């Protein structure tokens, strides 16, 4: 299972989280986010991470040339789209960055929200299911109704996101059985400042659960 810790803002924490077992780190490229980083800052971090760790840039309604430029500047291995990007936009991005993983975030409000996977399945590599919030594109720190995922089969591998933390991760994994999980505020002291004790506890809980299966 992939484990992505998002909203990394400094190299020391990024390295420590990778050493604890994260398979992917996320970097926020949305200017209005409190976790936003300039491309040069992201590049300074990604260039000093283990090559085995995926480096995902999170974008929302960003112009295609800007995404491409940031990816080229920062050595990102993946692009996560959190806005209203169309399948056509995803196809254009995929054609420009064929070696970069393309992740489409879907805000899950009702079971109908999951129907979006059908129209994006051919143009993205991975989905991320997050909590719906009318005024936010992500990072709400709130869960959604995981019952909506029962019996759902995604056409692509997918991450579960939205309000996950060491206290609820076992229940989340048992109910939804995702291909990966994505956490940010659930392992933070404040926006962008990760709590390494919470991250370590997260991995202890996950490994214990995996050993029990």
| Structure-derived torsion over alpha carbons of residues 130, 135, 140, 142, reported in degrees to the nearest 10 | -70
Q: Which residues contact 190 (CB under 8 A, 6 or more apart)?
A: none
Helix, coil or strand: residue 55: strand
- How many domains in the chain? 1
If residue 54 lies in a helix (H) or strand (E), which one and from where to where?
strand 54-59
- Domain around 177: 2-212
pLDDT digits (tens, 9 = 90+) for 83-107: 999 999 999 999 999 999 999 999 9
Model pTM score: 0.94
Give the per-residue pLDDT at 155.
97
DSSP 202: H
pLDDT digits (tens, 9 = 90+) for 138-181: 556 689 999 999 889 999 999 999 999 999 999 999 999 999 99
HSE (side-chain half, CA atoms, 13 Å) at 71:
24
Q: Judge contact between 128 and 104, C-beta under 8 A.
A: yes
Indicate which CATH number applies to the domain containing 26: 3.20.20.70
Active site residues: 6, 130
């Amino acid at each position: 299972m992939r484990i992505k810790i998002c909203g990394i803002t400094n190299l020391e924490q990024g390295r420590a989280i990778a050493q604890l077992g994260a398979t992917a780190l996320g970097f926020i490229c949305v200017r209005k986010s409190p976790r936003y980083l300039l491309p040069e800052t992201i590049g300074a971090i990604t260039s000093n991470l283990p090559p085995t760790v995926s480096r995902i840039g999170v974008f929302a309604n960003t112009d295609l040339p800007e995404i491409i430029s940031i990816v080229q500047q920062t050595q990102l291995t993946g692009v996560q789209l959190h806005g209203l990007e169309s399948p056509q936009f995803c196809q254009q991005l995929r054609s420009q960055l064929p070696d970069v993983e393309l992740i489409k975030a879907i805000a899950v409000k009702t079971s109908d929200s999951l129907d979006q996977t059908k129209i994006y399945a051919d143009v993205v590599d991975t989905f991320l299911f997050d909590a719906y919030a009318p005024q936010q594109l992500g990072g709400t720190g709130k869960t959604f109704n995981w019952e909506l995922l029962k019996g759902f089969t995604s056409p692509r591998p997918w991450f579960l996101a939205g309000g996950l933390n060491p206290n609820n991760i076992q229940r989340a994994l048992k109910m939804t059985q995702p291909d990966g999980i994505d956490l940010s505020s659930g392992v933070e002291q404040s926006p962008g400042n990760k709590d390494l004790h919470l991250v370590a506890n997260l991995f202890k809980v996950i490994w214990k659960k995996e050993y029990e299966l």
